[in-house]
Amino acid sequence: MSARVTLVMSVFNQLELTRACLESLRVTTEPFRLVVIDNGSTDGTREFFERFPYPFPLDYDYYGVNTSVIASLNRAWRRVETEFLCLLHNDTEMLEPTWLARLLSPFTAAHAGLTGLYGVKRVRRDGKYVGRTIVHSLADGPTVRAPSEEVAVLDSVCLLLPRGLMEAVGGLDEGYGFYHCYDKDLSLAVRERGRRCYVVRAPFHHRGGGTRTSDFAKRRDVERRDLGDRRAANARFAAKFRHRLPCDVRPLGERLREWVSAKVTGGGRTGRDG
């Protein structure tokens, strides 16, 4: 059976995380291709991909410069020739062979637009997540109900959508800078075309730090700069989609119950940038 999906990765060093991710994909039941943009790895990643030991078809490009993750993903997805593409972090490990089939399953309905493994049902007017409405498939305790739940926006750890839809929304918005908020932006761009976003139940490990945070423990200035970048990107997102925010996909009854409870208890609202 020919592949319907191409997995898309942007990598920079962190070879052991990449290797563990690819090892976890060996038993995937749904055929797929792989496109990887390497932003100048110096830890043996390039040599690893040049001697690629896995059976899935590979398109590898050593770009040589550690540029914006968003720009790298845009270069990568444009190389995709399959019906669907899946942006995937290289610090993930899938635990069940049917994970990719589960991400595809909502697309039996015409209104499905974007699927993933981590998302939030409510986004505030300021662009921040309402943390208590997060649903996910993290292996330590998935909170999403099987087979899937609708969310307002999805997290970038894993994003699957039709290639034609990615083309229609113009790809990822590089105006956000190096990394932050492109996932929220893509989610609302998809929703603006009358399509919905879903988190599916497919347990996975997220090792963290493979894409951008590995230097934080050593370089607090890098962490502070990243926090500033996150805040600036979130402000840009809130301004760009002010006509769509707040966004809440929970049933009306659930929203009303929360509103009444907050009035009675005087409870505040909590949020995170996402």
Quick one: how many helices (H) and strands (E) in the chain?
Answer: 8, 15
Residue 151's alpha-carbon distances to 135, 163, 193, 261, 266, in angstroms, are: 8, 21, 15, 22, 26
Lowest average pLDDT, out of 126-135, 162-171, 200-209, 237-246, goes to: 200-209
Average the pLDDT over 8-17 and give the result: 96
**Omega before residue 97 within 30° of 0, cis:** no
At 191, the pLDDT band (50, 70, 90 cuts) reads very high
Pick the CATH number of 5-265 from 3.40.190.10, 2.20.25.10, 3.20.20.70, 3.90.550.10: 3.90.550.10
> Which pLDDT score is estimated for 219?
66
Assess whether pLDDT exceeds 90 at residue 31.
yes
At 54, the pLDDT band (50, 70, 90 cuts) reads very high
Closest CA to 134 of 212, 225, 250, 7: 250
Element (H, E) at 1: none
Q: Give residue-wise pLDDT tens across range 218-239.
A: 667 777 888 989 999 999 999 9
d(CA 47, CA 90): 17
Average the pLDDT over 60-83 and give the result: 94
> Which pLDDT score is estimated for 209?
56
At 272, the pLDDT band (50, 70, 90 cuts) reads low
Name the pTM for this structure: 0.92
Average pLDDT, the chain: 92
